[in-house]
Amino acid sequence: MKVTAFLLMRMVFFMLLAAGCGIALTPDLNVDGPIVVGVSESQISFVHLDEAGDVSGVFVDMVRDLGLYLNRETEVKLLDENGLVGAVGGHTVDLAFVLLPPPDMEERPGVVFSKPFAWKSLAFLTDAESELDGLEDLNAEGRTVAVIANHRANSFARTSLPQAAVKVLNSETEAVSLLLAGQADGFIHDSLRIFELADEQRGRFRAVLEPFRRVGVSLAVSADNEALLDAVNDFMHDYREIGGFERLADRYFAEAREAFAVQGADFLFDPPERVMIEDSEPGLLD
């Protein structure tokens, strides 16, 4: 009988738990009913919403596997990206996928964060015939850099590329159009999305994946639910140990990971020894 990857994952989790390598099968998580996890469809590359309204993607698979690990039902709830942290603080959801720390954290007391399980970096898209190979090539007089207004690449470009002209746009579509028109030399955005854009128009664009400004991706948890925070951290640790993140990368990002490796760039799930959090000191990871 063929054992599916889904059942195999569950078997492995139960073997780990039986060996004392995890938490209790039914821990007291201070959560009534299913564990509700907030995601946003604007988290492109990680969450996909089809025409029928069904949600899939990396974050959804992680929610499913977390439920297997905890032997609890889980539910994914779509929210606006700017409301994810507030939904946790207001107990609308139990967990939410966020960058660490979110820019509005000071206005959102009562929320804590799991240890990061992935690290998003910035990269840039340029013309396929461009000779630009790194940030130092973008940071020059006469260069124009496109960014999106509400994206962290905006603040990065303004503070770290003082020689270049920064063109602030409202959408990814506008930025790509500017490149196609030859009115920008590079478009800075999340590295995985930059790879996807280059892949969608092969021969027209090239992704320069040299990682810069890496920030952690974490799960936000209510500060009054220490049990759930501990459970999530245990899950992330054991999930990495049994190759869960490797399986996700193989399932969703096989071509991307190969492209990152060719350029010698750290990939999404590659844990760094140190993570530079935007506008803060480097923090050591366990």
In percent, how much of the chain has pLDDT > 70? 83
In this structure, the answer to whether residues 93 and 177 fall within a common structural domain is no
pLDDT tens-digit readout, 172-190? 999 999 999 999 999 999 9
Half-sphere exposure of 155 (CA within 13 A, CB side): 7
Contacts of 199 (CB under 8 A, 6+ apart): 207, 255, 256, 259
In this structure, the answer to whether residues 89 and 54 fall within a common structural domain is yes
Q: How many domains does the chain have?
A: 2
Q: Which of 169, 185, 213 is the last residue of a domain?
A: 213
Q: Which of 178, 213, 248 is the last residue of a domain?
A: 213
**One-letter identity of residue 82:** N
Rounded to whole angstroms, the Cα distance separating 275 from 71 reads 32
Quote the domain boundaries for residue 155.
Answer: 121-213
In this structure, the answer to whether residues 222 and 239 fall within a common structural domain is yes
What pLDDT sits at residue 212? 86
In this structure, the answer to whether residues 204 and 235 fall within a common structural domain is no
What pLDDT sits at residue 22? 47
What pLDDT sits at residue 275? 41
Confidence of residue 280 (pLDDT cuts 50, 70, 90): very low
What are the C-alpha distances in Å from 242 to residues 89, 202, 238? 32, 35, 6
In contact, 194 and 256? CB cutoff 8 Å: no
Least reliable range by pLDDT among 1-10, 28-37, 214-223: 1-10
In percent, how much of the chain has pLDDT > 90? 62
What are the C-alpha distances in Å from 273 to residues 26, 119, 237? 33, 11, 15
In this structure, the answer to whether residues 134 and 168 fall within a common structural domain is yes
pLDDT tens-digit readout, 70-127? 889 999 999 988 889 889 999 999 999 987 765 555 556 789 999 999 999 999 999 9
Contacts of 52 (CB under 8 A, 6+ apart): none
In contact, 274 and 210? CB cutoff 8 Å: no
Confidence of residue 279 (pLDDT cuts 50, 70, 90): very low
In contact, 120 and 161? CB cutoff 8 Å: no
Pick from 98, 58, 81: which is nearest to 269 by CA? 58
Number of other CB atoms surrounding residue 261 within 10 Å: 13
What CATH code is carried by the domain that includes residue 264? 3.40.190.10
